[in-house]
């Protein structure tokens, strides 16, 4: 099983870059086999990620921000859920991987499970758009907009 981590190599957001580095660094420290998949340079990766993040996990604007984590085709979560699993010593369970031999299997805390259920019950209108989400949305709109050449600018 390979863990897929969807990243944006050319993100202008330092917060997103730090989150991506945090996830990758932690996976490397645990010696977890993972594949970084760039959504900034590869349209197929971007579309696959967007289509496979569950609707209830998508932000209000519908565009999930990197990093997004999958175990093969199975969605694990975003940075916040990864961070929560890390804090609860439940990263292997979060990733859907068996813990290494000799390690303790940390159960999910009851309150963490309740938080997940509360978030799943929230409607899309309950989630504010963060600066990072807005910045990524703007970047994606720019990428989708037709490019204007220098000649066209001179003609205007």
What's the average pLDDT block by block, 10 residues per block, for the chain (156 residues)? Answer: 94 94 97 96 96 92 94 97 96 94 58 50 52 61 55 54
**Per-residue confidence (pLDDT) for residue 111, from 0 to 100:** 46
**Per-residue confidence (pLDDT) for residue 14, from 0 to 100:** 94
Expressed as residue numbers, the domain containing 52 is: 3-95
**Per-residue confidence (pLDDT) for residue 112, from 0 to 100:** 47
Distance, in Å, from the CA atom of 94 to the CA atom of 76, rounded to the nearest integer, reads: 6
Q: Is 104 a member of any domain? A: no
- Looking up residue 34, the CATH number of its domain turns out to be 3.40.30.10
- Report residue 73 as tokens: 């085709």
**Per-residue confidence (pLDDT) for residue 62, from 0 to 100:** 84
Distance of CA 102 to CAs 27, 68, 73, 98, 99, Å?
Answer: 18, 29, 28, 11, 8
């Amino acid at each position: 099983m390979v863990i897929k981590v969807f990243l944006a190599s050319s993100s202008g957001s330092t917060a997103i870059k730090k989150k991506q580095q945090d996830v990758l660094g932690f996976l490397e420290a645990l010696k977890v086999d993972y594949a970084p998949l760039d959504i900034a340079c590869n349209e197929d990766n971007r579309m696959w990620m967007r289509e496979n993040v569950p609707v209830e996990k998508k932000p209000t604007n519908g565009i999930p921000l990197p990093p997004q984590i999958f175990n093969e085709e199975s969605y694990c979560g975003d940075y916040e859920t990864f961070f929560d699993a890390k804090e609860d010593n439940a990263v292997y369970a979060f990733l859907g991987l068996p813990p290494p031999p000799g390690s303790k299997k940390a159960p999910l805390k009851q309150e963490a499970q309740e938080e997940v259920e509360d978030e799943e019950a929230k409607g899309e209108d309950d989630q504010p758009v963060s600066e990072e989400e807005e910045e990524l949305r703007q970047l994606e709109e720019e990428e989708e907009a037709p490019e204007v050449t220098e000649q066209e600018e001179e003609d205007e």
